[in-house]
Amino acid sequence: MRLGQRKCLLRQLVILLVLALAQISSARAGERLVWGVIDFPPFQIVGGPNRDTGSFDGLLEELTRRMPEYRHDIIPMSFARREQEFLEGSKLCTPGVFRTPEREKQLTFSRPSLIHLDNRLVFLSSKAKVLGGDEPADLEALFKNQRLLAGVFSSRSFAPNIDDAIKRHAGQPNLIIRAIKTPQMFELLLRGEIDYTIMFPHEAAYIARVYGMENAITVRKIKGTPPYCFTYTACTKGAWGENMVAKVDLILEQIQRDPKYQAYSERWYVNSDKATIRAYFQKKLRSK
């Protein structure tokens, strides 16, 4: 074989070797990781002009960027579908979820991912005379006041004291419990069909901003409610989920002291709340 032919054959072999290695690398990087995301502004915003600007969106961006060995499929789901996928044991992760005893049966949880100020009483500023005050609101007394109509989300768990009060007063004509989304509840408030509801403070701030009514809404703390709560990254319970969560925990450990990461918890809060949540972040989330 001539020298030129040998060189040509060697180049072909090198090319074939490079292609084979690239295919192996691609196959490894192509392992599918499904993220179930919920349209729950401002935690997760899956559409519209504010798309991908929620706190969970920022977290998910960090996780997917730092896990290049996977092919990340981000799939919008309803709450019900996500719960069913977890119940059936599908290989699924979610970037933001509240931890409850029921979910612990289905999910493997990461270390706390983000911190949030807890739920507040939300009402029109025009009703501040009857619903306002400097002290946290007594929810039990409000539910007993038949002249005031409350509207709450049936699909949510708020906080232990709030959940217990709702259970005790469920069935009363002045307590409307519906399976609706935040904009629909907000519209009930605007139309005067309810006097107050319960939401996260940044959720109320976000929806009021969307409606151009930032100055028309007032929020008030609720007596007995913890001042903050955590959300977690979670995956399906089992060996696969434990392996994924272990990787997530390593990433969280690396980035939780980064001011950019801290800012994800503050997204969509009003300025005064941002200062409060920043203080909780420093004291609580970093200690976990």
199-231 pLDDT tens trace: 999 999 999 999 999 899 999 999 999 999 999
Whole-number pLDDT of residue 231: 94
Q: Say how far apart CA 190 and CA 236 lie, in whole Å.
A: 40
First to last CA, the chain: 68
Whole-number pLDDT of residue 126: 96
Q: Let me know the angle formed at the C-alpha of 102 by 101 and 106, rounded to the nearest 5 degrees.
A: 110
pLDDT (tens digit, 9 = 90+) per residue, 4-59?
555 545 555 543 453 444 444 444 557 999 999 999 999 999 999 999 999 999 99
Whole-number pLDDT of residue 8: 47
pLDDT at 1 over 80: no
> Which percentage of the chain shows pLDDT scores above 70?
88
pTM over 0.85: no
Segment 174-189 shows an average pLDDT of: 95
Segment 112-140 shows an average pLDDT of: 95
Q: Which domains does the chain carry?
A: 28-117+229-287 (3.40.190.10), 120-220 (3.40.190.10)
Whole-number pLDDT of residue 11: 53
Whole-number pLDDT of residue 32: 94
Tell me the C-alpha to C-alpha distance, in Å, between residue 210 and each of 91, 117, 203, 268, 273: 35, 20, 11, 11, 19
pLDDT (tens digit, 9 = 90+) per residue, 224-269?
999 999 999 999 999 999 999 999 999 999 998 888 898 999 999 9
